[in-house]
Amino acid sequence: MKLISGGVCAAKGYKANGIHCGIRKNHSKKDLALIVSDVPASAASVYTTNLVKGAPLTVTKTNISDGIAQAVICNSGNANTCNYNGIEIAEGMCGLVAEHTGICARNVVVASTGVIGQVLDLTPIENGMEELTAGLSYDGSENAAMAIMTTDTIKKEVAVEFTVGGNVCRMGGIAKGSGMIHPNMATMLVFITTDCAISPAMLQKALSSDIANTFNMLSVDGDTSTNDMVTVLANGLAGNEEITAEGEDFNTFMEALNTLTIHLCRMIAGDGEGATKLLECIATGADTEEAAKISAKSVICSSLFKAAMFGADANWGRVLCAIGYSGADVDVSKIGVSFRSPKGEIEVCRNGAGVPFSEEKAKEILLEKEIDILISLGDGEYGATAWGCDLTYDYVKINGDYRT
């Protein structure tokens, strides 16, 4: 298992592109992306649990109900959510892909991200399709990654190489997400491609299993988006024997997927709106996996704790407070807390009570860009990791006039 370059084009048989078609007012911002497989691929997706769902999710769910897809089209700048003609527009985007690529419209994954409740005009997308498809390239992942960004400050792409049954396989992904991130499968979108051969059923099983410990353990601001979607395409061009059941090959595939999704989680958390720090909360020693997960994510979601991390304030009481109201079944008298960064590690709480520590050393540790919050919940065997970021003044500035 090794990291490689190439994003969604790292695997065999995938082209991608991204352009500015005119949805966004800023002409320097790309706003339309397309990913195409040379052949039909197994497809799997997970979607937001928000009862208010963007029309593209409804259309995608119908389109890949047979477990097959060959293309992904996504616009940024407009979420196509809560619109009277949302389904019509989403289906229209699929139709445009069919018209310009020859791929069946029912084999298209469609996604949108941006402002909710604003009518999406199909005209700029229609006008941009010729440029978008003409520019499709086996090196086009970066353009696609940039075209799905909204308030993101960095493009998010990663790829891994692994071996299944003696065949070299590759998997790559791009993601967008900076605010409205609190997935429960935030406006978070992730598109993953692989040339590994795996059946649609096993692909869905792998994805549904993986997100429980990755994207569902990620939070920037506690808001679950209406348009969250994670989609994986697997076109089988690596030539391995198709994975149709659990076993060694499936485990290797799961490891590759998990490696990739964890990298994307960290990128999304570190690029949270207004964020200056990536926070990784590692809970260990729980009696159950559920207790570990609930505890870690509650700490990551605490606005008070996130604000303390922005100020490099070792206010460990806010960690215990977040665990205490989380609903996790834990023994508070056994909790220990330490903070760690490239500047070192410092213990601040043991057995549910504070211990003497150097405030100066703690501040030095917490001034770093990446901080680990280490929580010991006792002597149990279960653990969990959650990702988030600090809460800064800029988060309010960004969201105070997001629409206008």
Active centre residues (catalytic) = 187
Q: Which two structure tokens, joined as six digits, stand for 298?
A: 């509650």
Chain centroid to CA 215: how far?
Answer: 6
User: Residue 246: which residues within 8 A CB-CB, separation 6 or more?
Assistant: 202
Gap between the Cα atoms of 16 and 40, Å rounded: 15
Helices 123-134 & 86-101 angle (0-180, nearest 10): 30
Tokens representing 286?
Answer: 């729980």
C-alpha to C-alpha distances, 17 to 29, 129, 384, 388, nearest whole angstrom:
14, 11, 36, 30
| Dihedral angle computed from the Cα positions of residues 59, 62, 68 and 72, in that order, rounded to the nearest 10 degrees | 10
Q: Are 133 and 34 in contact (CB under 8 A)?
A: yes
Tell me if 75 sits within 8 A of 32, measured CB to CB.
Answer: yes
Closest Cα partner for 259 from 270, 271, 251? 251
Q: Give the number of other CB atoms < 10 A from CB of residue 6.
A: 19
